């Protein structure tokens, strides 16, 4: 099957402006959401270390990602020019029944860029891209009050058993 064309990067049209990172704050470039590129990996890893600290690889959700690659075409970054200021990735997983699903995460936004709608836009963009590729189920391990706005609820996943939890 021929590969589909890569979607154009999405620019946040809300009031998301360049994040403060030692500049004058007068730069009015918009944050761009796009697929992650291989050259983004070091910046993404540094961002995740900054946001989640050195314990990030000991989290329950990491047990689900171990030994896997992210789902094809479902790794995204928010970029402020060349600077990666946000990330969201989806991973192929399966329920015990064998039904396929995607695991959302980690989702992270640089500290100086929070409260600007970047995380919201990344999550919505990732979910829409997954739907567009025909995926039906997305699960996550995360902050319920934050993720409830996207339709995630603990009740829907109440019977799931996760590695590292008893």
**pLDDT value for 16:** 43
Average pLDDT over all residues of the chain: 80
pLDDT band at residue 65, thresholds of 50, 70 and 90? Answer: confident
Using a 10 angstrom Cβ sphere, with 0-12 exposed, 13-18 middle and 19 or more buried, the burial of residue 8 is: exposed
Tens digits of per-residue pLDDT, 105-133? 899 999 999 999 999 999 999 999 999 99
Mean pLDDT of 150-164: 74
Any idea which residue has 């004058």 for tokens? 24
pTM: 0.79
Report d(CA 8, CA 125) in Å as an integer: 12
Task: Go through 54-73 and write b for each residue having 16 or more CB atoms within 10 A of its CB, e for each that does not.
Answer: eebeeeebbebbeeeebbeb
Mean pLDDT of 61-67: 75
Domains and CATH numbers, the chain: 10-157 (3.40.630.30)
Predicted confidence (pLDDT) at residue 135 exceeds the cutoff of 70: yes
* DSSP state letter for 110: -
């Amino acid at each position: 099957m021929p590969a589909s064309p890569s979607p154009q990067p999405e620019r946040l049209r809300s009031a998301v402006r360049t994040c403060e990172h030692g500049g004058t704050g007068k730069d009015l470039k918009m944050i761009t959401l796009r697929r992650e590129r291989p050259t983004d990996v070091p910046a993404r890893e540094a961002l995740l270390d900054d946001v989640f600290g050195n314990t990030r690889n000991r989290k329950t959700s990491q047990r689900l990602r171990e030994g896997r690659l992210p789902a094809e075409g479902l790794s995204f970054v928010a970029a402020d020019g060349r600077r990666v200021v946000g990330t969201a990735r989806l991973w192929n997983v399966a329920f015990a029944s064998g039904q396929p699903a995607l695991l959302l995460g980690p989702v992270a936004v640089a500290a100086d860029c929070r409260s600007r709608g970047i995380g919201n836009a990344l999550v919505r963009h990732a979910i829409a891209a997954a739907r567009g590729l025909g995926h039906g189920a997305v699960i996550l391990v995360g902050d319920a009050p934050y993720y409830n706005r996207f339709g995630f609820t603990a009740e829907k996943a109440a019977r799931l058993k996760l590695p590292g939890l008893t």
